[in-house]
A and B are shown apart, each in its own frame.
Chain A
Amino acid sequence: MKTATLWRIYFYSMIAGFISLMMTSSATADSFRVLQESLPKKINGWTASAEDRIYNERSIFDYINGAAEVYRAYNLKQCLARRYSIEKGPAIVLDIFDMGSPRDAFGVFTHDTDGNAVSVGQDGRYRPGWLSFWKHRYFISIYMEEETAEAEKAVMELGRIVASKIRESGNKPELLLKLPKDGLQTQSIRYLHHPIILNYHYYISDENILNISPHTDAVLASYQRGDHEARLLIVKYPDTKTAEDASRNFYKSYLPDADTNGTARLEDGKWAAALQKGELLIIVLEADTREAAHHFLTSIH
Chain B
Amino acid sequence: MSTSKNVITRRDFIRTGSCFAVGGLAGLPLIIQASVKKPDKSRVILIRDKNVIHDGGSLQGPILENILDEAMTTILDVKDSKSAWQHLFNPDDIVGIKSNVWGPLPTPKTLEAALRTRLINAGVRKENIDIDDRGIRGNPVFNTSTALINVRPLRTHHWSGLGTLIKNYIMFVSSPWQYHGRACERLGHIWNRPEIKDKTRLNILVMLTPLFHGVGPHHFSQAYVWPYGGLIVSTDPVAADAVGAQIIQAKRNEYFKKYRPISPPPRHIEAADKQFGVGNSSSDRIELIKMGWKKDILI
B103 shortest CB reach to chain A, Å? 8
Within 229-258 of A, Cβ neighbours of B (below 8 Å) are at 245-246, 249, 252-254
CA distance A272 to B23 in the complex (A): 24
In the assembled complex, A21 has its CB within 8 A of some CB on chain B = no
Asked if A209 meets B223 with Cβ closer than 8 Å, knowing A64-B217, A93-B218, A199-B182, the reply is no
A249 and B102 form a contact (CB under 8 A): no
Q: Report the separation of the CA atoms of residues A128 and B223 in the bound assembly, to the nearest whole angstrom.
A: 7
Contact flag A204-B223 (CB < 8 Å), given A199-B182, A209-B2, A267-B15: no
Please state if B222 and A147 are interface contacts (CB–CB under 8 Å).
Answer: yes
Asked if A145 and B14 make an inter-chain contact with CB atoms under 8 angstroms apart, the answer reads: no
The smallest beta-carbon distance between B194 and chain A, in angstroms, is: 25
A145 to B216 CA separation, bound complex (whole angstroms):
11
State how many angstroms separate the Cβ of A108 from the closest Cβ of chain B.
9
Most-contacted residue by chain B among A90, A207, A266 (CB, 10 A): A207
Q: How many residues of A contact B (CB 8 A)?
A: 45
A128 touches B221 (CB 8 A): yes
Interface string of B135-159 (1 = CB under 8 A from A): 0000000000000000000000111
Whether B7 and A199, one on each chain, are in contact in the complex, defined by CB atoms closer than 8 angstroms, is: no
User: A69-B180, A245-B1 in contact; A203/B10 too (CB < 8 A)?
Assistant: yes
Name the distance in Å between A287's Cβ and chain B's nearest Cβ.
Answer: 15
| Docked-complex contact A204 and B10, CB < 8 angstroms | yes
**Distance in angstroms between the alpha carbons of A71 and B216 in the assembled complex:** 12
Q: Judge whether A253 and B2 touch: CB under 8 Å.
A: yes
- CB of B14 within 8 A of CB of A267, answer yes
- Complex alpha-carbon distance, A209 and B12, angstroms: 15
Instruction: Give the shortest distance, in Å, between B179 (CB) and chain A (any CB).
Output: 12
Contact B222 A145 (CB under 8 A): yes
Q: Contact at A66–B219, with CB atoms within 8 Å?
A: yes
Is B181 part of the contact surface with A, judged by Cβ < 8 Å? yes
Whether B7 lies near A253 (C-beta < 8 A) is yes
Are A143 and B216 in contact (CB-based, < 8 A)?
A: yes
| Least distance between B8 CB and chain A CB atoms (Å) | 5
B219-240: CB near A (< 8 Å → 1, else 0) gives 1111110000000000000000
In angstroms, how far is the closest chain B Cβ from the Cβ of A241? 12
Contacting pair B7 A206 (CB below 8 A): yes
Return the contact of A129 from the options B13, B217, B223 (Cβ within 8 A).
Answer: B223
> How far apart are the CA atoms of A144 and B10 in the complex, in Å?
37
- Report if A146 contacts B (CB, 8 A): yes
CB <8 Å contact, A209 and B23? no
Given A199-B181, A245-B1, A249-B3: A128 touches B224 (CB 8 Å cut-off): yes
Take A245-B1, A253-B7 as given contacts and tell me if A206 and B218 are in contact as well, using a CB distance cutoff of 8 Å: no
Question: Could you jot down 11 A-B contacts, CB within 8 Å?
Answer: A93-B218, A97-B217, A130-B216, A143-B218, A146-B222, A203-B13, A203-B182, A206-B8, A206-B181, A211-B1, A268-B14
Chain B positions near chain A (C-beta within 8 angstroms) = 1-4, 7-11, 13-15, 22-23, 102-104, 157-159, 177, 180-183, 215-224, 264
